[in-house]
Structure 1
Amino acid sequence: MSASSHDTTLPAPESGNAPKDKRKRTRALLVVLAIVILAAVAWLLLWLFVFSTRETTDDAYVGGNQVGISAQVPGIVIAVYADDTQRVNAGQVLVRLDPTDADMALRKAGAALAQAVRQVRQQTQSAASADASLAARRLDLQRAQDDLKRRLPLLAEKAVAPEEVQHARDAVATAQSALESAQRQADASRALVDGSDVRDNPAVQQARASFRQAWVAAQRNAIVAPVDGYVAQRSVQLGNSVQPGQPLMTVLPLHDLWVDANFKESQLRHVRIGQPARVEADLYGGGVTYHGKVVGLGAGTGSVFSLLPAQNATGNWIKVVQRVPVRIALDPRDLDAHPLRIGLSTSVTVDIGDDRGDVLAKAPSTVPTAQTSVYDDVAAKADAAADAIVQANLGIASP
């Protein structure tokens, strides 16, 4: 047998690098697995301590009071002192109306008040005169009665004629009638002035009220700003004939703003009044953060209060996640540093870590939502003007 017939192919020996490659693959898999586990743990911790303790929405917009400026009395506009975008201070005159008619009405009311004071003074003097006349009539009656008493014994002794006694009786009856008439006259005179002095007399008080009304109406020809703010929506023009209640412009107090954040209903489970919130406005981006807190949750979803509420009782119905407005009060210091405008878009993050607060307010608010003091001294000034007229017409002898 030849040698070639016994040739066989021997297997190649295994490479010495195979175990090393296997160990590398195992190590790589372990590293990847460790990274995945660490990432999962990190995400779990992030969700537990960060994402689960806050609710976020970008369906949020800046809100604020829009103080409408309107006329309180009719008139013709003769001056406009403020325009859109301009700042105004509380008490500043914004629009002035023609004062001609109001001034004439005020003068008439002042004259009527003066006349009322003088008439009451005259009535007081008339009452005093009636009292003096009443006293005189009493003396006349007493004198007539005394004369009759003296003549009656003389009549029994026939010392006087019966006619003389009859005349004495007639004199007593006449004096009695005169006394009764004087009493009624005194009562009528006193009925107008008893129980009050000149200042408190009903006629004077009525004339005083008419004067105060005319004085206030004259002052309202100057339409003032009730709050500090910025003018918007000016529609009034020179020469306009305005009526009470007609809108002229709007004043926006930009130092007192809030954010209405519209959260999904599924996000409200742990939202409570008093929880802190962070707000970022698109105007400034993420570089500016506003600090605030939840002050209230809306009493209904936006669809309920819309102009055309949804009609869900129909054949074709699709469930839509509803949103509820949550009011976020902003720190005024943040607003002073970075002013906002009503209607700007924002993103809101509410910290819901502490959800022990109230969902709805338990008690009514006792603090005014907004108030102004620019009209506080109007009544006092009107009273002072009325007092001056009354004092000028009282006279020295009056109380």
Structure 2
Amino acid sequence: MTPQIPERPQDAKADINGVSDDDRSGSRQAEEPIRRSRAANVFILILAGGLAVTAVAVLANFLTARSRDAVVEATPIDIKTPISGILVELRAKAGSAVSAGQSLGRVEDPRASGLELRNLKTSLLTAGSDLEELDEEVAKQRLLVETIRNDADQQQALEIERSSRELQRLEAEVRRSREEVAFIDRDLKRQQTLFRAGAVAETVVDRASTDLAREREQLAALEERLAGQKSVVAAARKNLTLTTTRSNFDPAVRLQEAKLKLQRLEGRRRTQAKRVEGLTKQLETAGVARGLQSESTLVSPRQAVVWRLLANQGDTLRAEAPVLQLIDCKDRFITTFVKESDLNRVRIGGPARIDLVGDSLDLRGEVATIRSGLGRVSLKDDTNPIPINLARESQVRVRILNDIPAPPLKFCYVGFTARVSFER
């Protein structure tokens, strides 16, 4: 028996023309245009923007050369101790900024010998005592010279006075003798006139003539004595004597001897003073040397950042042993490698951007040097040629500019991994 299939209601509702409702709705949809949603439009815009950004990035990548990853470096400064000893003080720590001339630590050597310094101090003390004694002797001798000079001056004055008085007496006698000679000469002439007149005897004339001759002799003797006395006065004025012999008790002789002794003492004093001056300079030099040998202060030569400590406080160090290491944050650089084919986009002095891996900050720099052919170039005569098909990369050194602050606690980004981009 065959089952009966019920008729669909829509089939029963077909119009008399034989067209169903489904056929009518399908024809209406075919006649209306297809409409996109708003989400579809946004998606298309985003896709177009992404394609534009990709195109710009491809163009920038074509115009920009990029290097391999490299490490930011800086100029290291090793601080060493000039002497052997114990690091008794260490004022710096890693990551701290230090200025030029700042004290970083102190090393002392308790075994440094001070024997030479003590010997020099003893010699200087002895030389100083001898100089003081010479000063006293010179002072006493100067006082003695002054006293003897006063005595000699007084003696000279007395000698001049006595000689002058004797000279005056002789001058008076000479005057009297000349007057007497003149009188006798006149009397002789009167007696001769009377004799010729016959008034007096010849003996009277002879007596007068004899008296005149004797008086003239006495006058001549007095004049000689007067000339001699004038010489005595002249000698006395020059502190000389023509009449006596001077002995060691004479003030003039004693004055000469005292002056000679004073000159010898002053010469010894000058020599001793120079010796004291020389010992003083030696002591100063020895003191400085002793200080340099027994104690040394570690000083920063420039403004820098402490990179690491190589010794601890209390350590025993040898001479020239490193104590700490500084880095100069103003002299930072990065040495990296680029493909030799990208060198046409890199130029000396050209700008560069340093992308730090460990920080979101980008640094600026400029190309300092370009060295190509490392490993493929030999600068000496070598019979074994280097293969040219080695890796063709060039070394580029970039100097980092200091226009961005370098934090000391991040060690000025030294040691950070970075990648360098070179722009045309």
Instruction: Name the residue aligned to 1:101.
Output: 111
Instruction: Name the residue aligned to 2:369.
Output: 297
Structure 1: how far apart are the matches of 2:58 and 2:416?
A: 34
Aligned residue identity for 2:320: G
Aligned residue identity for 1:214: R
Instruction: Name the residue aligned to 2:308.
Output: 231
Aligned residue identity for 1:60: A
Aligned residue identity for 1:123: L
Higher Rg? 2
Instruction: Name the residue aligned to 1:182.
Output: 262
Aligned residue identity for 1:180: L
- Pick aligned residue for 2:141 from 133, 136, 144: 133
Task: Call closer, same or farther: CA 1:214–1:338 in 2, change over 3 Å.
Answer: closer
Structure 2: how far apart are the matches of 1:64 and 1:225?
A: 16
Q: Does 1:247 align with 2:322?
A: yes
Q: Does 1:123 align with 2:131?
A: yes
TM-score w.r.t. length of structure 2: 0.49
Task: Call closer, same or farther: CA 1:145–1:63 in 2, change over 3 Å.
Answer: same
Task: Call closer, same or farther: CA 1:121–1:259 in 2, change over 3 Å.
Answer: farther
Conserved? CA contact 1:263–1:326, under 8 Å: no
**The structure with more helix, counted as a fraction of residues:** 2
Q: Which has the higher contact order (CA 8 A, sep 6+)?
A: 2
Conserved? CA contact 2:148–2:254, under 8 Å: no
- Pick aligned residue for 2:71 from 45, 50, 61: 61
Determine what percentage of the aligned residue pairs are the same residue: 14
Shift in Å, 1:179: 0.8
Task: Call closer, same or farther: CA 1:123–1:252 in 2, change over 3 Å.
Answer: same
Conserved? CA contact 1:295–1:327, under 8 Å: yes
**Structure 1 gap segments, 5+ residues each:** 1-37, 353-399
In the TM superposition, what are the counterparts of 1:29-48 in structure 2 within 5 Å? Answer: 46=59
Structure 2: how far apart are the matches of 1:183 and 1:311?
A: 78
Shift in Å, 1:210: 2.7
In the TM superposition, what are the counterparts of 1:68-217 in structure 2 within 5 Å? Answer: 68-75=78-85, 77=86, 86-87=94-95, 90=98, 97=108, 99-102=109-112, 105=114, 109=117, 116=124, 123=131, 126-127=134-135, 129-130=137-138, 133-134=141-142, 136-137=144-145, 139-140=147-148, 143-144=151-152, 147=155, 150=159, 153=163, 164-167=244-247, 172-190=252-270, 193=273, 201=277, 203-217=279-293
Shift in Å, 1:349: 1.7
Aligned residue identity for 2:306: G
Q: Does 1:277 align with 2:346?
A: no
Shift in Å, 1:279: 0.8
Shift in Å, 1:330: 5.0
Aligned residue identity for 2:245: V
Conserved? CA contact 2:363–2:400, under 8 Å: no
Shift in Å, 1:297: 3.0
Aligned residue identity for 1:185: L
Conserved? CA contact 2:87–2:107, under 8 Å: yes
Conserved? CA contact 1:263–1:325, under 8 Å: no
Shift in Å, 1:347: 1.0
Instruction: Name the residue aligned to 1:35.
Output: none
Q: Aligned pair count?
A: 288
Superposed CA deviations along residues 219-242 of structure 1, whole A, max 9, x for unmatched, are 42x65777542425x3679664x3
Structure 1: how far apart are the matches of 2:406 and 2:248?
A: 101
Instruction: Name the residue aligned to 1:328.
Output: 400
- For the aligned residues, what is the CA RMSD? 5.3
Shift in Å, 1:86: 4.6
Q: Secondary structure at the match of 1:69?
A: strand
Q: Secondary structure at the match of 1:73?
A: coil
Task: Call closer, same or farther: CA 1:238–1:309 in 2, change over 3 Å.
Answer: farther
Shift in Å, 1:82: 9.2
